[in-house]
């Protein structure tokens, strides 16, 4: 038997609604952001980056889960490539990192590339929503983002020079935030403005 209940804001108890296919619900009364997961809502941190671009009509906001992590590599066996890793500046993602995971519905290869790019070099931006720029719906929750972060870490280790034989590691997650970054729409897909 199913039970249907209205989702309400954790802050002011107002009934929540959201566009179709969006896992984020923002209260229209108090603007508290919520993540929809497993039939319930959880309050989240949400930020927008101000757009430096001129034409808001050609822009969209792309959502990213930003995960605060501590990655500890306790065992690593690589055959060859150590000098090449050093010469090419191929760094591991271990240590304290803010891992960026694309949460919008874009092609996987582009989502991975953007996530890795922003993880290696966190973007700097001024916080504030630029009016008139639509947001791409959030299609992955922060628990899925944690699984993708694990995958992104391993993929980075595998793609570095040398042959990875084995790796032992742990990833501890300390927090998450949803950040919308402005992108320009073009014939070749989305182009970052930050």
pLDDT digit string, tens, across residues 109-157: 999 999 999 999 999 999 999 999 999 999 999 999 999 999 999 998 8
186 HSE (CA, 13 A, CB side)? 9
Nearest to 28 by CA among 1, 7, 48, 49: 7
End-to-end CA distance of the chain: 48
pTM comes to 0.89
Q: Are 137 and 62 in contact (CB under 8 A)?
A: no
Supply the pLDDT for residue 35. Answer: 93
- The edge-to-edge listing of strands for the beta sheet with 33-37 is 24-26, 33-37, 40-43
- Cβ density class 104-118: b for 16+ within 10 Å, e for less: bebeeeebbebbbeb
Please tell me the least confidently modeled range out of 16-20, 72-76, 85-89: 85-89
Alpha helices in 5-141 (DSSP H): 82-88, 108-120
- Give Cα separations from 80 to 71, 89, 161, 172 (angstroms): 23, 15, 8, 29
């Amino acid at each position: 038997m199913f039970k249907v209940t209205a989702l309400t804001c954790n802050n002011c108890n107002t009934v929540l609604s959201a566009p179709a296919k969006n896992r984020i619900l923002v209260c229209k009364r108090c603007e508290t952001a919520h993540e929809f997961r497993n039939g319930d809502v959880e309050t989240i941190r949400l930020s927008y980056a101000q757009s430096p671009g001129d034409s808001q009509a050609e822009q969209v906001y792309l959502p990213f889960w930003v995960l605060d992590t501590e990655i500890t590599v306790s065992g690593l066996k690589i055959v060859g490539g150590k000098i090449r890793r050093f010469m090419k500046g191929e760094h591991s993602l271990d240590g304290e990192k803010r891992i960026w995971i694309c949460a919008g519905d874009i092609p996987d290869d582009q989502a991975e590339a953007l996530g890795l790019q922003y993880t290696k070099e966190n973007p700097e931006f001024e916080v504030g929503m630029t009016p008139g720029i639509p947001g791409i719906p959030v299609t992955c929750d922060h628990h899925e983002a944690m699984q993708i972060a694990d995958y992104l870490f391993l993929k980075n280790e595998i793609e570095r020079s040398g042959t990875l034989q084995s790796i032992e590691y742990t990833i501890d997650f300390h927090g998450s935030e949803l950040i919308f970054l402005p992108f320009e729409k073009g014939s070749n897909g989305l182009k970052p403005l930050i």
